[in-house]
Amino acid sequence: MNQEKLMKRRMISAIIIAVITLIALFVFIGLYIDETRRVQDTYRSQFKINLDHVSEDIDSYLNAEGDLDMRYIRLVNDMSSVNSFAFLIDDFTEQQKAINQINTALIKYPEQMRTKIKELGEVIDDISNDLDKGYKNAFKLIDSIDKLGH
């Protein structure tokens, strides 16, 4: 009879430990999901902030009388930051593609992009305002570039 009581205690202890472990697992899963959401919110806010910087750089470029090369380099750097944050955001593949193509065009085709800065400003403003037409116009802008030229 002592053997049966000992086995019952061990079984009850094992069940209690399993239940506690299961509860702990659910708590950690909930914490992980919450932290992932917070990180994604941070990425999205940084993406938006950097888009605003690009918009300011475009306005600065368009209104400038002086050193346009320095202003263009600053524009490329800020667009590169936007591109980096776009790739960190989940479920953002089409938008990532548009942002990446704009960034690539700014780097590879500076002469052509300098002539399309005003159009780029409109695209960036639309993207910054979460308008879908911004991404569609981004693809149109990229398609208008002669990829064989400079």
Model confidence at 149, in pLDDT bands (50, 70, 90)?
A: low
Kindly write down the DSSP assignment for every residue of 114-150, as one continuous string: HHTHHHHHHHHHHHHTT-HHHHHHHHHHHHTS-TT--
Residues 40 and 22: their CA atoms lie apart, in Å, by 27
pLDDT digits (tens, 9 = 90+) for 90-141: 888 888 999 999 999 999 998 988 889 999 999 999 998 888 888 899 999 9
57 to 11, 64, 122, 125, 144: CA distances (angstroms):
68, 10, 13, 12, 22
Q: Please check whether residue 89 is in contact with residue 47, taking contact to mean a CB–CB distance below 8 angstroms.
A: yes
The pTM score is 0.80
pLDDT value for 63:
87
pLDDT digits (tens, 9 = 90+) for 41-53: 999 999 999 999 9
Provide the token pair at 44.
Answer: 């999205």
Report the alpha-carbon distance of residue 129 to residue 48 in Å, rounded: 9
